[in-house]
Amino acid sequence: MIVLTTNYKDVIARRLGVSRNTVAKYIAVLVAEGRIECRTVGKAKLCRARER
């Protein structure tokens, strides 16, 4: 499980060398495809790979 803080898109974007908008787009695509699931707990967002 990956715990994402409120600025998770910035952190991921910096590490990958892409824009924040690109990260948001791909996270949304992965959720829509059912590859990951995310839920909000307080200010954090919890994402994990879905079981096959």
pLDDT score for 21: 92
Which residue has better confidence, 1 or 23?
Answer: 23
DSSP characters over 16-46: HTS-HHHHHHHHHHHHHHTSEEEEEETTEEE
Residue 52 scores a pLDDT above 90: no
Task: Kindly state the helix (H) or strand (E) to which residue 48 belongs, with its residue range.
Answer: strand 44-49
What is the residue extent of each domain of the chain?
2-49
Residue 44: predicted pLDDT: 75
pLDDT of residue 33: 95
pLDDT number for residue 3: 59
Q: What is the pLDDT of residues 4-44, one digit of tens each?
A: 666 778 888 899 999 989 988 998 999 999 999 888 888 77
- Calculate helix-pair angle for 20-33, 8-16, nearest 10 degrees: 110
According to DSSP, the residues that pair with 44 across neighbouring strands are 41
